Amino acid sequence: MANHDSTTLVSATSRWDRPAVSTGTGETYLVVTIATGTPTTRINRPPVDVAFVIDRSGSMSGAPLSLAKQGVLTALNLLTDQDGMSVVAYDDTPRTVCTLMPATATHRHGLAQTLRQMETGGSTNLFGGWQLGCEHLTHPEFGTPGRLRRTILLTDGLANVGLIDPQQISWQVARQRQSCLTTSTLGLGLGVDEALLAGMAEAGGGNFAFVEHPRDLPAFFARELGEALSVVATGATLTLTLPEGVRGRLLNPFPAERIGKRLTISLGELPAGLTLSLVFSITTRAKHEGVVYSPLELTSEWQTTDSSAARTLIPVDPLISVSPADFESMPRDEAAVEAVAQVIADDARRTALRHYRTGDVSAARSSLGAAMAYSVAAPSSSARLRKELDEVMAFDPNSPEFNTRSRQIENDTHRRSRGRNL
């Protein structure tokens, strides 16, 4: 099923793995695909305001700080006079390098001169630095409605002053996302805390990447700012309303707010050419066959680039309860199975890598094994998924290659989970 609005270039479809649940403790999957087209005529993109937040703490000494400076300089060249830029630097205390100003050639040249003189300092108040960068974009004196807003954090991710709890930091990032402010993170150096930085990017609706070499910087910022400059919808949300007796859980790493039987997913900005499959685990405890769970309601909302609001209702087939035997023999929607298998495999790889880093090899391999079992159901991609999972299963966390390869996998799974091309 599809609902397409040619004006906003946003469409949505829904499909079940199987439109049924088994009696007892039943589970099935609902796949919702959000897609954006590419405009056939030129559209006026909204300006983008970017706050660059640079970690200048002692742990950034040498190559990491050099990479951060080069990263900002690379990004500045992608902005135009209509865009805005600001810079925050932090060690134990965040400070403003420049408040939000137009990204003119003169201003960019002056900022480049300032950045080249930056040196490392003391401890790492990562949250305070990120927060000050956000204030540059949201303060009434600086922020302007109708403009895209992005905070880009460049750091080795080792917070040790101020708020340091990763879950609390991600929660604060998610709150800013509700105000249509996107957070992306760029990990630099060998001591990167991938869990913290990937968690911030997931909560903030942005991108996460790990960079070891200056040659990788242009590609990251071309993607990062290229997406911002091709946005066709902002403030996008997807809301799933469940009937009594049905529970739902989103498997993708997107912020989800639950109020009663309503689950609202914050999608944020939608760039042109996006295809994003959101997978919900739907469970019931049906005692009898023939129970019809309806209606399941799906609505999506967003703003177009001219700031007009749009809302659409996405049709969803009813869900019924059947016997365990009938459930197992029911045909499955191949496209839905492929989408579910990919989300489960990506989540298993991320989870396993984090278990490896804490030394829990058994837990890592357990999560991978569960994903392998489901991947068999996806005929078109089972061989590829099995290869990806096998690679992580064979990891030795003490090997020299572990850090580099695990970070590449974090990068890839994060981008794919957000509907971005690898």
Q: Cβ(36)–Cβ(272) under 8 Å? A: yes
Distance of CA 364 to the CA centre of its chain: 22
Confidence band, pLDDT 50/70/90 cuts, at residue 306 = low
pTM recorded for the entire structure: 0.84
User: In this structure, are 259 and 381 located in the same domain?
Assistant: no
- Assess whether 260 and 360 both reside in one domain: no
Say yes or no: 19 and 146 in one domain. no
Taking 50 as the threshold, does the pLDDT of residue 2 lie above it? Answer: no
Query: Do the domain assignments include residue 19?
Result: yes
Q: Are residues 55 and 197 in the same domain?
A: yes
Instruction: Provide the domain count of the chain.
Output: 3
Q: Are residues 201 and 127 in the same domain?
A: yes
Lowest mean pLDDT among 43-57, 73-87, 317-331: 43-57
Indicate if 219 and 327 belong to the same structural domain: no
Per-residue confidence (pLDDT) for residue 411, from 0 to 100: 81
Which pLDDT band, with edges at 50, 70 and 90, does 47 fall under?
confident
Comparing 387 with 210, the larger pLDDT belongs to 387
Closest C-alpha among 236, 307, 243, 235 to residue 278:
236
Where does a domain end: 166, 199, 229? 229
pLDDT digits (tens, 9 = 90+) for 149-168: 999 999 987 888 899 898 89
pLDDT at 4: 38
Give the pLDDT confidence score for residue 45 in this predicted structure. 66
Looking at the structure, tell me whether residues 129 and 265 fall in a common domain.
Answer: no
Output 140 or 357, whichever has higher pLDDT.
357
pLDDT digits (tens, 9 = 90+) for 92-117: 999 999 999 999 999 999 999 999 88
What does the pLDDT look like over 371-413, one tens digit per residue?
999 999 998 999 999 999 999 999 998 888 888 888 888 888 8
Residues 376, 340 share a domain: yes
Closest CA to 263 of 313, 294, 298: 298
Whole-number pLDDT of residue 114 = 93
Mean pLDDT of 160-187: 89
With a cut of 80, say whether residue 226 has pLDDT above it. Answer: no
Is the per-residue pLDDT at 422 higher than 80?
no
Q: Of 38-47, 218-227, 374-383, which range is least confident?
A: 38-47
Please write the tens of the pLDDT for every residue from 234-271: 888 999 999 999 999 999 988 888 999 999 998 888 88
Residue that wins the pLDDT comparison between 339 and 146: 339
Which residues, including other chains, have CB under 8 Å from residue 162's CB and lie 6 or more apart?
125, 126, 127, 128
- Looking at the structure, tell me whether residues 254 and 152 fall in a common domain: no
214 to 74, 185, 211, 229, 358: CA distances (angstroms): 10, 16, 8, 23, 29
**Rounded-to-integer distance, Cα 312 and Cα 3, Å:** 7
169-182 mean pLDDT: 88
Residue 209 belongs to domain with CATH number = 3.40.50.410
**Range with the poorest average pLDDT among 37-51, 289-303, 327-341:** 37-51
Final residue of a domain: which of 317, 332, 347? Answer: 332
217 and 69 in a single domain? The answer is yes
The contacts of residue 92 (CB under 8 Å, 6+ apart) are 57, 121, 122, 123, 124, 125, 161
Distance CA 311, CA 233 (A): 12
Would you say residue 80 lies in a domain?
Answer: yes
- For residue 422, being part of any structural domain is answered with no
CATH number at residue 254: 2.60.40.680
Within a domain: 403: yes
Cα–Cα distance for residue pair 174/176, rounded to 1 Å: 5
Does residue 397 lie within any of the structural domains? Answer: yes
Poorest-pLDDT segment among 111-115, 204-208, 304-308 = 304-308
Residue 224 pLDDT level (bands cut at 50, 70, 90): confident
**DSSP state letters, 201-270:** HHHHEEEEEEE-SGGGHHHHHHHHHHHHHTEEEEEEEEEEEPPTTEEEEE-SSS-EEEETTEEEEEEEEE
Domain containing 107: what range? 48-229
Amino acid 8: pLDDT: 55
What average pLDDT does the structure give for the chain?
A: 87
Q: What is the mean pLDDT of residues 53-80?
A: 89
Q: How much helix, strand and coil, in percent to the nearest 5, is found in the chain?
A: 35, 30, 30
My answer on whether 84 and 61 are in the same domain is: yes
- Residues 156, 287, single domain; the answer is no
Determine the Cα–Cα distance for residues 206 and 130; give it in Å rounded to an integer: 14
Domain end among 312, 332, 352: 332
Grade residue 141 by pLDDT with cuts at 50, 70 and 90.
Answer: low
Task: State which of 3-12, 272-281, 406-415 shows the largest mean pLDDT.
Answer: 272-281
